Amino acid sequence: MAILVAGTVAFDSVRTPFGAAERILGGSAAHFAVAASYFAPVRLIAVVGEDFGDEHLVPFRERGVDLAGLKRQAGKTFFWSGVYHDNLNDRTTLETQLNVLADFDPVVPEAWRSTPVVFLANVDPDLQARVLDQVSRPALVAADTMNFWIEGKPESLRRLLSRVDLLLVNDGEIRQLTGRFNLVEAAEAARALGPSVVVVKRGEHGVLVFEGDAVFALPAFPLRRVVDPTGAGDAFAGGFLGAIAERIDRGERDWRRAAVLGSVLASYQVEAFSLDRIRRLGPEEIRDRFRAFQDLTRFGPLAD
Ligand code: AMP
């Protein structure tokens, strides 16, 4: 099943305790699209500026991402810069320049208007809503957001969430969104806003999936070397929704498998800057890390 993703395609400047990179290819939709492309056909809606050369399209083209909804507009590409704290779980945004995003009017190509799975990656919630308005009765609508929009556009965000089936956010974001510190309470409060499934990404502490009466918890893959956590959340979402789009039955087994595949993609994402690692994954690398997750979390009965 195809996935339509709308979000940012960006230039990022990132500093981590292990290195720094200037104006590298990033953005919420970019990391998502490349990660999801391993599981499902991906259709990308985003805007870039005149400073975005064709060379930056190569990772998307190589991964078969459909770029018919990527618009190049007069002005500069969205720019974000951030610095990670020593724990790598917290970061401070230094600068967000909306640039061409400020007056982007997204148009979903006619042929994409019945795409079954929609991912509204982190971007202005009014823009997320305008994309959703153009898709007719999708089987699944998922969304992400971040502090910038939770603070900047709270009413738009609440309106959007009432139309969303699945919310994927990190722990800090769900606390900020709901005003609840306890994550179980925060997930309940988030579900009261609309989404029936809530996924809380917790960086190196893994992920919690709240679905029906079930809660599923998975650790992050213990890595010796994390180069840059940027985009880990979007890569998780790509693996997760890609896996769901692959098998839309959506029983508990499917949600669990999706959470593992999301974690696999996120674990590769953080091994390099930009899309450098996830754009070149072999099927055996995905399979091997999936099995490593099975080993990591397997345990026997309480008593033999
Ligand atoms: P993540 O690390 O998964 O939260 O995503 C990081 C990506 O989000 C970076 O590549 C940024 O370009 C992008 N980003 C940062 N701030 C924003 C924002 N306010 N709206 C949309 N995308 C953003």
39: tokens are: 């599981």
For residue range 64-82, what is the model confidence (pLDDT) as tens digits?
999 999 999 999 999 999 9
Q: Which of 56, 122, 168 to mutate to test the pocket of ligand 1 (most atoms within 8 A of CB)?
A: 122
Residue 224 clears pLDDT 80, i.e. is over it? yes
Residue nearest to atom 5 of ligand 1 (CA): 231
Structure tokens at 119: 């991912």
Proportion of the chain above pLDDT 90, given as a percent: 95
- The confidence band for 304, taking pLDDT boundaries of 50, 70 and 90, is confident
b (16+ CB within 10 A) / e for 80-107: bbbebeeebbebeeeebebbbbeebebe
pLDDT at residue number 88: 86
pLDDT of 249 above 80 = no
Query: Residue 237 corresponds to which amino acid?
Result: A
Neighbours of 148 (CB within 10 A): 15
- The secondary structure of residue 293, as a DSSP letter, is H
Flag whether pLDDT at 300 surpasses 80: yes
Q: Residue 292: its pLDDT value, please?
A: 98
C-beta 48 within 6 A of ligand 1:
no
pLDDT band at 7 (very low <50, low <70, confident <90, very high): very high
Q: Which two tokens stand for residue 31?
A: 């990391």
Average pLDDT, the chain: 96
Residue 247, pLDDT > 90, answer no
Ligand 1 within 6 A of CB of 47: no
230 CB within 6 A, ligand 1: yes
pLDDT in tens, 105-130: 999 999 999 999 999 999 999 999 99
pLDDT of residue 298: 95
Q: Kindly tell me the number of DSSP H helices and DSSP E strands found in the chain.
A: 10, 13
Ligand 1 pocket, 128 CB below 6 A?
no
26 lines ligand 1 (CB under 6 A): yes
Taking CA atoms only, the protein residue closest to ligand 1 atom 20 is 123
pLDDT of residue 215: 96
Dist. CA 299 → ligand 1 center (Å): 36
Q: What is the pLDDT of residue 211?
A: 95
Query: Which residue matches tokens 């006619």?
Result: 110
Six-digit token string for 170: 């990190």
Residues 6+ apart with CB under 8 A from 22: 13
For residues 141-148, average pLDDT: 96
Find, among 91, 99, 160, 165, the residue nearest to 131 by Cα. Answer: 160
Cβ atoms of 64 and 37 within 8 Å: the answer is yes
251: three-class secondary structure by DSSP? coil
Interstrand relation of 66-72 and 79-84 (parallel, antiparallel or unpaired): unpaired
Average pLDDT value for residue range 183-205: 97
Q: Which two tokens stand for residue 161?
A: 């969430």
Ligand 1 pocket member 228 (CB < 6 A): no
Q: Specify whether the backbone of 88 is left (phi greater than 0), alpha (psi in -120 to 50) or beta.
A: left
How far apart are alpha carbons 185 and 165 in whole angstroms? 18
Output the pLDDT for position 296: 96
Question: How far does the centroid of ligand 1 lie from the alpha carbon of residue 38, in Å?
Answer: 21
Q: How far is the CA of 27 from the centre of ligand 1 (A)?
A: 5
Q: 52: closest CA among 104, 15, 103, 99? A: 99
For the stretch 16-25, pLDDT in tens is: 998 999 999 9
Question: Which stretches within 117-192 are classed as H helix?
Answer: 125-133, 147-152, 154-161, 171-178, 183-192
